[in-house]
Amino acid sequence: MISELNCAGRKVKLDQPRVMGILNVTPDSFSDGGLWLDEDAAVNHALAMQEAGADIIDVGGESTRPGAQAVTLEQELERVIPVIQALASKLSIPVSIDTSKPEVMNAAVAEGAGMINDVCALRQEGAVQAAAELAVPVCIMHMQGVPRSMQVNPVYKDVGAEVRRFLLERAEACEQYGVAQENIVLDPGFGFGKTFSQNIDLFRDLPALVATGYPVLVGISRKAMIGQITGRETTGRMSGSVGAAVLAAGMGAAILRVHDVEETVDALKVVSALAPD
């Protein structure tokens, strides 16, 4: 069991569930597209999330929503690097870079990012070597297929077991390339090549993923499954998302990746204070 992440000197203790605030710097992101594209607005939103109790800020410049087109390396660098640079000096909490490209990982960590969040689980050419060299914590996520087509017809026999096997195999490969075991975080990848019922099965199987001993990150905030359960569009999914985050924390998730930091932090505090031990 890992008790702490060392994000380039900024420590995140894992003695209680931690909150990762989402900062999209993509012009086409489904949930809050373009809202924070302006650099000042992005920095102010990150500062507000820190103030609201976020433990990590996750900066992403590559939209990975279903159907999204890939962005070029140049576009991604142009979007995220100025924001990372500004955030590294203005925040006290670590900044995570949401990318699959080794060049972006290198540039982001050089500018002060302290964690890598890779929805491709370091499978791109050169990514695992970059992560090993950079020696910061890395979240490796499960995805079946690729963003453009992953929701077309995802198939599993046992989604929980298959996702867990994939993540443990990737963790092993990362360790063989020199990524420290204590720097590995696992993520089942809700919505990434999963139907509604597969997402539900995967969520219910979280305890088995937690039992691997690796910290588990859960990203479910405002996603389609919350919409399918509540019947709400993205902007109305806050309460449902908070409910899911609190339940995931109760099932042992170490980090919750969320849009609504203040509401999630308050809900986690209340549950922690009132829950019987």
Instruction: Verify whether residue 90 is a known catalytic residue.
Output: no
* Token output for 270: 């209340």
* Token output for 86: 């500004």
Instruction: Verify whether residue 11 is a known catalytic residue.
Output: no
Q: Per rule CB under 6 A, is residue 65 in the interface with ligand YH5?
A: yes
Q: Tell the smallest beta-carbon distance from residue 277 to ligand YH5 (Å).
A: 29
Q: Which of 10, 18, 237, 257 is catalytic?
A: 257
The rounded distance, in Å, linking the Cα atoms of 50 and 269 is 16
When the beta carbons of 54 and 273 are compared against ligand YH5, the nearer one is 54
Residues within window 185-204 making contact with ligand YH5, judged by CB under 6 A: 187, 189-190
Q: Tell the smallest beta-carbon distance from residue 232 to ligand YH5 (Å).
A: 11
* Token output for 88: 């590294």
- Say which residue the tokens 């399918």 belong to: 228
The rounded distance, in Å, linking the Cα atoms of 96 and 90 is 14
The sign of the CA dihedral 96, 94, 16, 54 is negative
When the beta carbons of 102 and 219 are compared against ligand YH5, the nearer one is 219
Pairing of strands 255-258, 18-24: parallel
The set of residues, in sequence order, having a beta carbon less than 8 Å from that of 98 and lying 6+ positions away, is: 58, 59, 60, 61, 62, 117, 118, 119
Q: Tell the smallest beta-carbon distance from residue 276 to ligand YH5 (Å).
A: 30
Residues within window 136-165 making contact with ligand YH5, judged by CB under 6 A: 139, 141
Scored b (16 or more CB within 10 A) or e, 60-71 reads: bbbbbbbebeeb
Among 71, 219, 249, 258, binds ligand YH5 (CB under 6 A): 219
Q: Per rule CB under 6 A, is residue 223 in the interface with ligand YH5?
A: yes
Q: Per rule CB under 6 A, is residue 256 in the interface with ligand YH5?
A: no
Among 98, 111, 205, 260, binds ligand YH5 (CB under 6 A): 98
Q: Which residues bind ligand YH5 (CB under 6 A)?
A: 30-31, 64-65, 98, 117, 119, 139, 141, 187, 189-190, 217, 219, 222-224, 234, 257
Just list the catalytic residues: 223, 257
